[in-house]
Amino acid sequence: MSLEKPVRVRYAPSPTGLQHIGGVRTALFNYLFAASLGGRFILRLEDTDRTRSDPAYVQNLYESFAWLGLRWDEGPDTGGPYAPYVQSERADLYRRYAGELLDRGEAYRCFCTGERLERIRHEREASHSGVTGYDRFCRDIPREEADARAAAGEACTVRLKIPLDASGPSTCFTDRLLGEIEWKNADVSPDPVLLKSDGFPTYHLANVVDDHLMGISHVLRAQEWLSSTPLHVIMYRAFGWEPPEFCHLPMVMGQDGKKLSKRHGAASVDEFRRQGYLPEALINYVALLGASYEEGASYEEGSSQRKADIYSLEELAASFSLDKLNKAPAVFDYQKLEWYNGQYIRMKDDEALAALALPYAGGIFAGNEATAAERRVFTAAMPLVRERAVFLPDIPAKLAYLFRDPPAAPTEVFIPQKLGLAQAAALLRMGRELLPALAALDDAGAEALVKERAAKESVKLGDLLMPLRAALTGSRVSPPLFGSIRLLGADRALARVDRALAQMDRALAR
């Protein structure tokens, strides 16, 4: 790879929709490539599609990347030496460069109306012709005549002259991942429009002009754009410019082998965020889609052992290389992403995890918002749920019983297997006797106490604890019981047990 010129890469989305995970992967690889070589990462908004571009999608882009922790060195909101970085604000430049192509004989004015183009298309369909694209009807109009017609006010576009066979049958370029590419010019869209009749550019003209003027050294983009590259190379040569280096990244597919989309699950950054994914987990996993890295750089909780495939953004940048990209499509595995999310949840300390989970806690507190005391309990409860949580909403959902009395459980929930209701009530009364002490003991002390009582009463430890768990949490399955008792406090725990015993006594009296 030649690094004679500064590394400058760009993420150039069209603000016509929410930020998709495929776009995030493209942006991330550009960011990592620039960071790995001390280059510059640029954001450019390619809003040439005026009918679909929406400021709301621009705002979504900013918010998504702020959440992910990715920042560009130059862009619409940060400025830079090549501002403006929004194509709709650069229209005069595109008109000037379209004129340059006209002057060089590499482009021409086209006066074909939409009605004529539509008629040609219908005629081809009726005759089952395999020919597609523009028929080059205006290609040979003398320049003087074309200029005069345009000056007289006749509507026209500007089209690029795609080389015909006499000028060479193919366009060749090198792709850093795919190698040498040879593309027949006959397979390139015939003489595409560069400047529309309203003076606004098409994507192709704006893209090439901006990449050149902004000094873009490498174009890293998805393989779906590979078919556009021959056209862009032809345009670079028409201007007499050196093209950037191209690298078309492997596609991101669902497990069914089709391009990743909403039908596979969450696809937009907004959806992942709403579902309770952490940005670090998303970045870490997406960075592995189509790329490999060195040994991971995180740790098992409570030790200094590194955990494979866990990387910070800085570590990803330090290890990133185009030579480590894979040609084959990457398969998006939601189960692997969930694993990553769980790992990053476990890396958070109590305060950080509570702050992340609290926005998902609506409805679990006594009032509309958590009081200071409830926040303290919520934070203190993080060790109870951290090890099994996969998504942030899991956390408050599992802790609701700490803040509101759970609904009365069906009587059968209190009854251990192979025992009866009367035996379950007796076990719960044993547990009640232990509650004041359990509320004051740590886990080790509480475990020793209940084991001693179970042995003394010749009952199974699980049978002793199950009715108590059901009475306190409303379920046989809950976060660790001893920690829950300490957070509830003896008085609240006793009140819940008494409610459960009254329910059992009523059932026994029937």
| Catalytic residue positions, numbered | 262
N-terminal to C-terminal alpha carbon distance within the chain = 84
| Identity of the amino acid at 13 | P
CB under 8 Å, gap of 24 or more: what pairs does 36-39 form? 36/317, 36/318, 36/319, 36/320, 36/321, 37/3, 37/7, 38/7, 39/6, 39/7, 39/8, 39/9, 39/217
Cα distances from 485 to residues 402, 432, 475, in angstroms, run: 9, 11, 14
Contact 362, 284 (CB under 8 A): no
d(CA 23, CA 270): 13
d(CA 457, CA 74): 72
Q: Which residues contact 492 (CB under 8 A, 6 or more apart)?
A: none
d(CA 499, CA 435): 15
Peptide bond into 190 cis (omega under 30): no
Our CA angle for 257, 343, 35, nearest 5°, is 75
Our CA angle for 346, 445, 411, nearest 5°, is 80
d(CA 184, CA 380): 66
Alpha helices (H) in 308-403, listed in sequence order: 313-319, 334-347, 350-357, 372-380, 382-385, 394-399
| Identity of the amino acid at 393 | P
d(CA 229, CA 248): 10
Q: CA nearest 324: which of 296, 293, 295?
A: 293
Q: CA nearest 20: which of 71, 52, 74, 68?
A: 68
Q: What is the DSSP string of 110-164?
A: E---HHHHHHHHHHHHHTT----S---TTTTS-HHHHHHHHHTT---EEEE-PPP
Cα distances from 428 to residues 26, 434, 462, 506, 509, in angstroms, run: 58, 10, 12, 15, 17
d(CA 159, CA 142): 14
Cα distances from 310 to residues 294, 307, 392, in angstroms, run: 10, 6, 19
- Kindly report the backbone phi and psi dihedral angles of residue 249, in degrees, each rounded to the nearest multiple of 5, phi listed first: -75, 150
The beta-strand segments (E) located in 14-60 are 40-43
Tokens of 492: 């609240």
